[in-house]
Amino acid sequence: MPLHVLTAACALQGLYFLGCGALGRNLTPGRLIVRIVAAAVVTVAPVLVLHACPHSQACSAAYETLTGTMMDDGTGG
């Protein structure tokens, strides 16, 4: 589920920047760079957290509290 949300966020982000370019909004290069960096941080940060999450005790505890189930890291046993 989280990867689906991130994929949708990336798609919306792409459409947003396409719309900004097509509509010719009054974006200065500085403002555009700030928006691109902010969008990259919002998109990349969750991916980094999700990658390390199964091995983090704090992340596992938060997941278990939110969902009421134990986290499965995908390794069989």
Q: How many domains does the chain have?
A: 1
Domain around 38: 2-67
Q: What is the pLDDT along the chain (77 residues), one digit of tens a residue?
A: 666 777 787 788 777 777 777 776 677 788 778 877 887 777 777 777 767 677 778 877 877 887 888 877 666 55
- With respect to residue 35, please indicate whether it lies within any of the assigned structural domains: yes
With respect to residue 75, please indicate whether it lies within any of the assigned structural domains. Answer: no
Tell me if 77 is assigned to some domain. no
- Helix pair 2-23, 29-52: axis angle to 10 deg: 170
Domain-located, residue 61: yes
Dist. CA 19–CA 13, nearest whole Å: 10
Residue reference for tokens 């719309």: 19
| 72 in any annotated domain | no
Model-level pTM greater than 0.75?
A: no
Q: Residue 56 in contact with residue 50, Cβ under 8 Å?
A: no
For 7, 11, 21, the CA distances from 14, given in Å and listed in that order, are 11, 5, 11
